[in-house]
A = this chain, B = another copy of it.
Amino acid sequence: MKEALLSFVTAVTAEHSAAFVPEPERVAVFDNDGTLWPEQPMPFQAAFAFDELKGAVQRQPALADDPMVQAALAGDIGALLAGGHFEGLLRVIAVSHAGMTTEAFAAAVEAWLRSARHPRFERPYDALTYGPMQEVLQLLRTHGFRTFIVSGGGADFMRVWVERVYGIPPERVVGSTGRTSFELRESGPVLLKSLDTLFVNDGAGKPAAIHQFIGRRPLMAFGNSDGDLAMLQFTTINNPRPSFGLIVHHTDSEREYAYDAETRSTGTLVKALQQAPERGWHVVDMQRDWLRVF
């Protein structure tokens, strides 16, 4: 991977290169769950929502009537992902925080990151980013690229820590979003989170969200699942500029996890892997290609 990446970056950034691309056009998009940090045994935001949900149900016991809430309280991530498109999971995330101000939500995320530990690695979740991918982010930025996260995860969840953890400012995070409403209170203006999903940033939604938030086609796309397939296609197929696609393949059950075809997971990777050879996408075999994982 490293050689292909370096040679692409050199080709588009070296001043007299035939494939030179001016800085404003240098946009690279990264999926987050499974691409920049793990998504097992469940997406980290799901772990956060499950922890928060316990408090929400204590405050509003009627919530426990919802079958998706019951699945979440039982820790059954498979049930929440069964229908595809994250509806169950997003519903649980929404009910855990509806009515909260965006500031209180951000504080809850920070508090959780300080106290919660990953069940297997026993470290704070935000200490578990992939080292080789952090190097890629850094390398691209030193070559004039703007690095964006384009993830199915909630924008409100990610924006709290992306700057500290990845060096990516909040406005370069494209995520799933819910509707918020503005209120001018005695104490000042607030934005309240609601139950309404504005859009789910996954699958064919990713190119649409890239258009909506970034407004140009990326040069480079990094993903790890079929949820990133449309984003990889949008980036690399018949792009008038040079382009680069990369898939992180989770093959290392010793140091991380090995999964791909599992359907009750956010990380299903079948179609994108099949298309990789004809599309020229690079596939990283985590076990073989990464000297270190975290």
- A208/B182 contact (C-beta < 8 A), A171-B171, A198-B198 known: yes
Residue ID in chain B nearest A203 by CB atoms:
B182
What chain B residues lie within 8 Å of A35 (beta carbons)? Answer: none
Q: Is A102 at the interface (CB under 8 A from chain B)?
A: yes
A12-47 interface mask toward B, CB cutoff 8 Å, 1 = contact, 0 = none? 000000000000100000000000000000000000
What chain B residues lie within 8 Å of A213 (beta carbons)? Answer: 171, 213
Taking a contact as CB atoms under 8 Å apart, the answer to whether B171 and A102 are in contact is no
Q: Is A274 at the interface (CB under 8 A from chain B)?
A: no
What chain B residues lie within 8 Å of A238 (beta carbons)? Answer: 187-189
Interface segment, one of A72-80, A229-237, A257-265:
A229-237
Taking a contact as CB atoms under 8 Å apart, the answer to whether B208 and A24 are in contact is no
Taking a contact as CB atoms under 8 Å apart, the answer to whether A180 and B211 are in contact is yes
Residue ID in chain B nearest A177 by CB atoms:
B212
- A207/B189 contact (C-beta < 8 A), A170-B214, A215-B159, A215-B171 known: yes
Residue ID in chain B nearest A208 by CB atoms:
B180
Q: Which of A131-160 contact B (CB under 8 A)?
A: 146, 148, 155, 159
Copies of this chain per assembly: 2
Residue ID in chain B nearest A103 by CB atoms:
B217
Contact of A24 among B163, B215, B233 (CB under 8 A): B163
Interface residues of A: mostly helix, strand, loop or mixed?
A: mixed
Q: Is A199 at the interface (CB under 8 A from chain B)?
A: yes
Q: Is A123 at the interface (CB under 8 A from chain B)?
A: no
Q: Closest CB of chain B to A194's CB: distance in Å?
A: 10
What chain B residues lie within 8 Å of A10 (beta carbons)? Answer: none
What chain B residues lie within 8 Å of A146 (beta carbons)? Answer: 171
Residue ID in chain B nearest A209 by CB atoms:
B180
Q: Which of A216-258 contact B (CB under 8 A)?
A: 216, 230, 233-234, 237-239
What chain B residues lie within 8 Å of A215 (beta carbons)? Answer: 155, 159, 170-171, 173
Q: Closest CB of chain B to A166's CB: distance in Å?
A: 13
A180-B212, A184-B237 are known; give 14 further A-B pairs, CB within 8 A.
A24-B169, A159-B215, A177-B212, A179-B208, A182-B204, A182-B205, A182-B208, A184-B230, A187-B238, A189-B234, A191-B207, A191-B208, A198-B212, A213-B213
23 CB contacts below 8 A, A to B, read: A24-B163, A102-B211, A146-B171, A155-B215, A159-B215, A170-B215, A170-B216, A171-B171, A171-B172, A171-B213, A171-B216, A173-B215, A180-B208, A181-B208, A182-B208, A184-B233, A188-B238, A189-B230, A189-B233, A189-B237, A189-B238, A198-B199, A198-B212
